[in-house]
Amino acid sequence: MTKRERTLAMLVGASLLVLVALYGSKKVSDALRTRRAQIAGLEKQVRDKNRMVRLSQEHADRMQDYQRRALPSDLEKARSLYQTWLLSLVKDAGFQDPQVSVLPARSEKGVYDTLAFSVSGRGDLQKLVAFLHRFYAADLLHRVRRLYAKRVPGTKQLDLAFAIDAVSLPGSDNADKLNDQPSQRLTRGDLEAYRNPVLNRNLTGPANKEPALETIGDQSKYAGDLVSFAVQARDPDKWDQVTYSLESGSLPNAKIDPQSGRFEWQAEKTGDYEVVVTATDDGLPPKTARQTVKISVTERPPDMTPPPAVPPPSFEQAKFAYLTAITEADGKRQAWISLRTEGKLLKLFEGEAFPIGEVTVKVLRIAEKTVELDAPALPKRLLVTLGQSVAEGRELTAPGT
């Protein structure tokens, strides 16, 4: 062969080798691709089966949990037990005029039965939060389907109504009782964790304002005397009620009436003392005002004897002086007070005074249904409601304070 023929033969041989290599490579690549597809398909089948097993287990666990929490399968027993539990719940929450009624049940084709109940009552926001916390802290298969709350005009109370569903299952673990295990589904846990964020937001009005304490002057007494004065506060929020107290550690044996604010302390030893009085409202959140009162106790002078006690003027006739009407005359309110022992009917405006027995009483303020009276000689200031006698009036505080 010539050199040229040998070169041509080598080129043809090399081409054949390349073709064979490409063909073999394609065969191997196709085989690997097929094998990978088979492996991927098998892995998907395994995942699908594992998912089905996992879902089946989750459904079984969920059904087991439902059976543990469900009401008894006997509907009459379930209804009676749950209604009794609801009655106890609303009473513990402190609702006024609580009512628990049974509504018609609903059956879901023999799979489960839904027992329906309605609960109504009256209470403030704190009682509502306490009720809902106790409700969801019970590990029962139940829910509040609907909640209605409407504020009672002129008060902090709410008219409340609940629509509640509870489920009974044929395979319930509870035969003659309700599940009494605590629920683990409440994220925050105890009641206080829910009470603070809810009650500290006043959803029905402006932010709560603290009471304003009227200034109490320094007190000077002799050893052995009773230190007594009235604490009075006014709250800018119309419906807030104020209670009075002493800060701990202020004075031993000192006391204050939470409602009237009357402070009393027996001064036994000489010295300079301080007491911190507080006034706290019932707003959301509660606000407290404080004031420090200084008390100076000195020895009684040796030649100074206490004057004989002068009996206060008789106020017995106040039992027979009745507030019979509140009218309007010449554009001003007028109070009618009947002195039954004397057969007189007094028609008085604000600022006018009149005698009751030995005591002169002044009309300070006439409201829509009440009259505020001042009897400086006693001393006493009274709030008399329409239809009451003067003696039945609520004592406010000493005049001029």
C-alpha dihedral sign at 246, 251, 256, 262: negative
Q: Provide the pairing of β-strand 219-222 with 288-298.
A: parallel
Does position 2 have pLDDT exceeding 70, yes or no?
yes
Whether 381 and 364 have beta carbons less than 8 Å apart is answered as yes
What CATH architecture is 75-199? 2-Layer Sandwich (3.30)
CA 246/CA 254 separation, integer angstroms: 8
Q: Which tokens go with 49?
A: 């089966």
What CATH architecture is 316-395? Roll (2.30)
Is the full-model pTM beyond 0.85? no
Output the CA angle 112-113-114, nearest 5 degrees.
Answer: 125
Predicted confidence band of residue 292 (pLDDT cuts 50, 70, 90) = very high
Q: What is the pLDDT of residues 298-354, one digit of tens each?
A: 998 876 666 777 777 888 899 999 999 999 988 899 999 999 989 899 999 999 999
pLDDT at 189: 72
Predicted confidence band of residue 39 (pLDDT cuts 50, 70, 90) = confident
Tokens 């807030």 — which residue?
A: 240
Q: Which tokens go with 290?
A: 């404080």
Instruction: Check whether the bond before 312 is cis (ω within 30° of 0).
Output: no
Whether 85 and 178 have beta carbons less than 8 Å apart is answered as yes
Mean pLDDT along residues 351-369: 92
Mean pLDDT along residues 362-378: 91
Q: Which tokens go with 208?
A: 């709560």
Predicted confidence band of residue 142 (pLDDT cuts 50, 70, 90) = very high
Mean pLDDT along residues 255-265: 93
The one-letter code for the residue type at 5 is E
pLDDT over 90, % of the chain: 47
Mean pLDDT along residues 40-55: 70
CA 189/CA 196 separation, integer angstroms: 13
Distance of CA 344 to the CA centre of its chain: 50
Does position 61 have pLDDT exceeding 90, yes or no?
no
E-strand stretches of 132-259: 142-151, 158-168, 212-213, 219-222, 226-230, 233-234, 242-246, 255-256
Mean pLDDT along residues 266-285: 89
- For the chain, the residue count is 401
Whether 164 and 86 have beta carbons less than 8 Å apart is answered as yes
Q: What is the pLDDT of residues 207-232, one digit of tens each?
A: 778 899 999 999 999 998 999 999 99
Which of 15-19, 52-56, 397-401 has the least mean pLDDT? 397-401
Q: Which tokens go with 261?
A: 């604010």
Mean pLDDT along residues 67-74: 86
pLDDT over 70, % of the chain: 91
Predicted confidence band of residue 378 (pLDDT cuts 50, 70, 90) = confident
Which of 34-48, 158-172, 205-219, 347-361 has the least mean pLDDT? 34-48
Q: Give the long-range contacts of residues 9-15, CB within 8 A, separation 24 or more.
A: none
Tokens 């009996």 — which residue?
A: 311
Who wins on pLDDT, 63 or 240?
240
Tokens 């009794």 — which residue?
A: 84
Tokens 């065969």 — which residue?
A: 27
CA 234/CA 175 separation, integer angstroms: 58
Mean pLDDT for all residues in the chain? 85
Predicted confidence band of residue 401 (pLDDT cuts 50, 70, 90) = very low
Taking the CA atoms of residue 281, residue 283, residue 287 and residue 293 in that order, the dihedral angle to the nearest 10 degrees is -10
Which CATH number among 1.10.730.10, 3.30.365.10, 2.60.40.60, 3.40.640.10 corresponds to the domain 212-298?
A: 2.60.40.60
Does position 197 have pLDDT exceeding 90, yes or no?
no
Predicted confidence band of residue 205 (pLDDT cuts 50, 70, 90) = low
Predicted confidence band of residue 83 (pLDDT cuts 50, 70, 90) = very high
pLDDT at 17: 76
Taking the CA atoms of residue 9, residue 15, residue 16 and residue 20 in that order, the dihedral angle to the nearest 10 degrees is 160
Mean pLDDT along residues 267-271: 91
Predicted confidence band of residue 399 (pLDDT cuts 50, 70, 90) = very low
Q: Which tokens go with 267?
A: 């001064």
CA 87/CA 102 separation, integer angstroms: 12
| Beta bridge pairs of residue 292 | 276
Q: Which tokens go with 138?
A: 């019970």
CA 131/CA 92 separation, integer angstroms: 8
CA distance from start to end of the chain: 140
Who wins on pLDDT, 64 or 116?
116
Who wins on pLDDT, 2 or 95?
95
CA 101/CA 120 separation, integer angstroms: 9
Does position 276 have pLDDT exceeding 90, yes or no?
yes
E-strand stretches of 181-259: 212-213, 219-222, 226-230, 233-234, 242-246, 255-256
